[in-house]
Amino acid sequence: MRIDSKKLDMAMANACVGNLDIATALDMSTSWVGVQLGRARRGENLMPKTVGVIAAAIGCPVEDLLADEAGKGESA
């Protein structure tokens, strides 16, 4: 699953949370959160569970974070 980095930033801004807040909510290390958010911002695939826990920590539905994959893989 890919997270849209702009949607991620918007959701974090709306919730007024940063990496430390997410790490605290998940009881995970700040470095783990930083690595996962870095992967998301680079457009890498994340495991569904990872996307789910990030969305839960931010307080938004998973659907609000997902990148639009429509049209990818189709040839003209």
Q: What per-residue confidence (pLDDT) applies to 27?
A: 92
Asked whether 3 and 69 are in contact (CB, 8 A), the reply is no
Q: What per-residue confidence (pLDDT) applies to 53?
A: 94
| CA distance linking residue 11 with residue 45, whole number of Å | 19
Q: Which mean pLDDT values do the consecutive 10-residue runs of the chain (76 residues) have?
A: 95 96 94 94 94 95 88 50
The pTM of this model reads: 0.83
Q: Which residue has tokens 């040839």? A: 75
Q: Which CATH number fits domain 5-64: 1.10.287, 1.10.260, 1.10.150, 1.10.472?
A: 1.10.260
| CA distance linking residue 55 with residue 53, whole number of Å | 5
Cα distances from 32 to residues 3, 7, 14, in angstroms, run 16, 20, 22
